[in-house]
Structure 1
Amino acid sequence: MSSLNVIRRGGAYKTRVIIHGVRKSYSTTVNSTVQTLDKIESFPENSTIFSLIQPTGNIHLGNYLGAIRGWKELSETESQGSKFIFGIADLHAITLPKEAHKLKQFRYEAIASILAGGLNPDKCIVFHQSAVPEHTELSWYLTCITSMGSLNRMTQWKSKAQQTDSSSIYEDSVLESTKAGLLCYPILQAADILIYRSTHVPVGDDQTQHLELTRGIANTFNHTYNTKFFPIPKTLLTPSKKILSLRNPGKKMSKSDPDQNSCVYVTDEPDVIAKKIRKATTDSIQGRIYYDPEERPGVSNLINVISGLTGVTVEQTVKDLEWVKDHKQFKDFVTELIVNEFKDSRELYNHLLTDLSHLDQICKEGGNKAREIASANITEVRKLIGMD
C-alpha cells in the first residue's frame, strides 16, 4: 500500500464531496459573523454566497486552497434557493495599472483557472466584475457615507503602496504617493458584496478587515436611509492555513516572487512540481516530522499544504505522517499529493485557453445573470436615496 493510500484511508482526501473534512450532510446553519468553511453544514434558504478573485494570471497553490476549491465545494451545497456568485475582480486589478494586453490575458487565465478548479457555471454565476456597471454606481453611493478615517485604518492599501503599518494618508509624503483608487478600493469591494445583497462571503484571513468595513458600511447605509435593505454579510474563512513561499517560508507564496521555485502553479507539469518541492526550504532536524512554525517554518508550511489538500487537521496530518523517515520521503509525498490534485485541472486549463470564445460565452452568460440581480437591487437603492 502506498503512503498516499494511508492518508486517504484516514481522511477526507478519499472523497471530493467533503468540505475540509465535513461531509455534505447539511443540517445546521451559519449564525456567527465570522465562521470557517469546515464548520458549515448548511446555509439558510435563499442565501447569497459571493466572492471575487483578482486576475493575476494563472493561479498558484495558495490561491487554489485559499479560494477556488472552497468556492467549488460551497457551490455544490443544496441550500434551497441559494445563489452562488463567483468571479474576477478586474476593476480592482487596475489599482496598480497593468499593460492592456497583459490585463486581458490575465482575465482569460483567471477565468480558465477557476473553471479548471472545478466551478460549474450551471451551479453558480461566473463573471467579470467590470461587466456589471452597477458595482461602480453603488460604490459611489457608499463612498459618500464612508469616513476617510475608516479607509485610513485599512492595512492593505499601505502594503500595496509600500508604506508601513503606521503610515497615515494624512502625511504629506504618503498622500502624494498614494493613488485614490488604492485607498478607496475597499468601498468598491463593499459595493461588490452588497450589490447582490450577499449574506456570506468566503475570503482569506487577509480580507477580514475589509469584511468588517463592509458590515460597517451596510449598517451605516441602513441607518442613514431608515431601512434594512442590505443584509449584514457573514465572513466565511477558509480553514486552510496560509501557504507560504517554498523557498522563503517567512513570506506568503506569490506570483511576483523573483524566485519562481517558491511558487507551485496549478498548470505546472509533474516534473516541475517535483523540482520545486525538492528545492523547498526545510531544515536540518532529523527524525519524525512535527509542526512548529517557529522552529520549523519550512516543514510546517509543507504540512499545511498536505492538510489543505487532504482536508485533515494539522494535528491529524502530523499523526498520519508517522511513517515518514526523512525529508526526501516527506517531500516525495507532498509532490505526489500536489501532482494528483492538479492533474485534471492542468489538462482542463490548457484546453480552455485554446477556445477563448467559449470562455467569452461563459462570462457573457454569467454577466447577464449577475447584472439582472444587480439591476433590480440598484433600482431599490435609487428609490431609497431619492435617485429614482
Structure 2
Amino acid sequence: MNGTYKSGPTPTNRIFSGVQPTGNLHLGNYLGAIRNWVRLQADYECVFCVVDMHAITIKQDPVELKNSIREVTAAYIACGIDPEKNILFNQSQNHSHAELAWIFNCVARMGWLNRMTQFKEKAGKNRENASTGLFVYPNLMAADILAYRATHVPVGEDQKQHLELTRDIATKFNNDFEAEDFFPLPEPVIMDTAARIMSLRDGTKKMSKSDPSEYSRINVADGPDEIAQKLRKAKTDPEPLPTEAEGLEDRPEAKNLIGIYGALSDLTMEETLKAVGGKQFKDFKTDLTDLAVSVLGPIGDEMKRLMADPAHLDGILCKGGEDARKITQPIMQDVYDIIGFVRPE
C-alpha cells in the first residue's frame, strides 16, 4: 500500500527511550544512560517512558510496582528530564504499545527471537517455565520505538541486538505490506561519555539492581551516609592507584572506581589518572565519596521531595500519556489501513 499517510512524514530527530520500574535506579543507570538523555533534550524531540509493561514479564507485587513507577519517574525528573519539554509517561498509559506489539508478533520470526541473548540470560536453565512475555518482549520493545516512528534510540552494548531486531521488524513490515518506508530504521545514539559502571563488590560484573547485595551498587536515591558506607566497603586491592592506564590491567576494581570518579567529574581516563594517580585507596575513597555525594545528593533530595507527592507524579504521567497517544494514534490508524483492518476513522 503506497500513498499519503494520515500521520504525516516521518520525523527527523525523534528519540524514544525507557527504563523498567524494577527497583532502585543505581549509579550505572545514571552515568550510563539517564545523564546522557538529559543532554539529548536540546537536540531531539524526546519521548521518555517508564516501561511497566516490560516489568511484568516476571512476577511483580502490584503495590511495589506502583511505587517503583513513581520512583523511576521521580528519578527522571530529579536527574534533569524536563516533563514540560519532553513526553514522560508510563507505557501502560498508551495502548498503542500493546496493539503494535501484537502486530509485530505476527511479523517477527521465531528464529529471530531464538537468537536474543538476553532471553537466554534471564530465563536461565528454566526456559520452559519462562513466560511467553519474556520471550516476545523484544517485539514489544520494537513497538515502543516504532509506535512513535522514532528515528534514534540511545543504546548501550547490551541493547544493540534488540535495536537490530527493531530494524529487521520495520524492514519486514514495510516490505510485506508494500508500505515503502513507513516505519523508519531507527539509528543508535551511542554517547561518547556513556560510562560502563561495574559492581562495587566485583569489578568484572556490571552494576545491577538484581544483585542481592546492596553493597554492590550505589542507588540514585542513596543519602550521604549510605554512599560513604558503600564506597568504604567497595572492593579494592593493596596497590596504590596507577598513574598510567596500562597500570589498570588485571585490576578491575581499581579501574571501576577510577572510572566512576572520571564519569562523575566528566574527565577522561587520562585526566582522571593525572588527578588521582599515585594515591592510596583510603585517600582516594574519601575524595570519591565527597564527589559522589556532591553529584548524587541533590538528586536524592529532589527524588524524596517528589515522592512525597504521588498525586503530582501521577499527574505528570497522565499528561505524558495523553501527549504520547496524540502521536501514536494517527500512526496506528495508518498501520490498520496498511494491514487491512476495518476501523473507525
TM-score where L is the length of structure 1: 0.81
Distance 2:13 2:19 in 1: 20
Alpha-carbon spacing, 1:178–1:294, altered in 2? closer, same or farther (3 Å): farther
Choose which of 30, 47, 61 in structure 2 pairs with 1:64.
30
Shift of 1:289: 4.7
| DSSP-derived class of the 2:108 partner | coil
The residue identity in structure 2 corresponding to 1:384 is I
Distance 1:152 1:114 in 2: 33
Verify the 8 A CA contact 1:54 1:89 in the aligned structure 2: yes
Choose which of 309, 313, 326 in structure 2 pairs with 1:372.
326
Shift of 1:310: 2.3
Shift of 1:319: 2.5
The match for 1:282 is 236
Alpha-carbon spacing, 1:287–1:157, altered in 2? closer, same or farther (3 Å): closer
The match for 1:4 is none
Counting aligned pairs with the same residue, the percent is: 45
The match for 2:252 is 297
The match for 2:285 is 331
| DSSP-derived class of the 2:189 partner | strand
Alpha-carbon spacing, 1:114–1:63, altered in 2? closer, same or farther (3 Å): same
Shift of 1:284: 1.4
The match for 1:248 is 202
1:231-267 alpha-carbon deviations (Å, 9 max, x no partner): 1101112432321110111211122322211110112
The residue identity in structure 2 corresponding to 1:52 is G
Distance 2:259 2:171 in 1: 36
Distance 1:255 1:45 in 2: 35
Verify the 8 A CA contact 1:46 1:83 in the aligned structure 2: no
The match for 1:318 is 273
| Moved >6 Å (runs of 4+) | none
The match for 2:18 is 52
Alpha-carbon spacing, 1:225–1:268, altered in 2? closer, same or farther (3 Å): same
Shift of 1:114: 0.9
Whether 2:189 is the aligned partner of 1:236: answer: yes
Choose which of 141, 152, 155 in structure 1 pairs with 2:114.
152
Whether 2:141 is the aligned partner of 1:189: answer: yes
Shift of 1:209: 0.5
| DSSP-derived class of the 1:98 partner | coil
The residue identity in structure 1 corresponding to 2:200 is L
The residue identity in structure 1 corresponding to 2:131 is K
- What residue ranges of structure 1 are gaps of 5+ in the alignment? 1-43, 164-172
Distance 1:347 1:361 in 2: 21
Choose which of 103, 116, 137 in structure 2 pairs with 1:141.
103
The match for 1:18 is none
| DSSP-derived class of the 2:48 partner | strand
Segment drifting more, 220-229 vs 146-155:
220-229
The residue identity in structure 2 corresponding to 1:334 is L
Shift of 1:100: 1.0
Verify the 8 A CA contact 1:58 1:267 in the aligned structure 2: yes
Verify the 8 A CA contact 1:54 1:90 in the aligned structure 2: yes
Alpha-carbon spacing, 1:217–1:188, altered in 2? closer, same or farther (3 Å): same
Verify the 8 A CA contact 2:24 2:220 in the aligned structure 1: yes
Whether 2:156 is the aligned partner of 1:201: answer: no
Verify the 8 A CA contact 1:290 1:300 in the aligned structure 2: no
| DSSP-derived class of the 1:52 partner | strand
| DSSP-derived class of the 1:330 partner | helix
TM-score where L is the length of structure 2: 0.91
Segment drifting more, 65-74 vs 233-242:
233-242
- What residue ranges of structure 2 are gaps of 5+ in the alignment? 1-9
Alpha-carbon spacing, 1:326–1:89, altered in 2? closer, same or farther (3 Å): same
Distance 2:147 2:279 in 1: 53
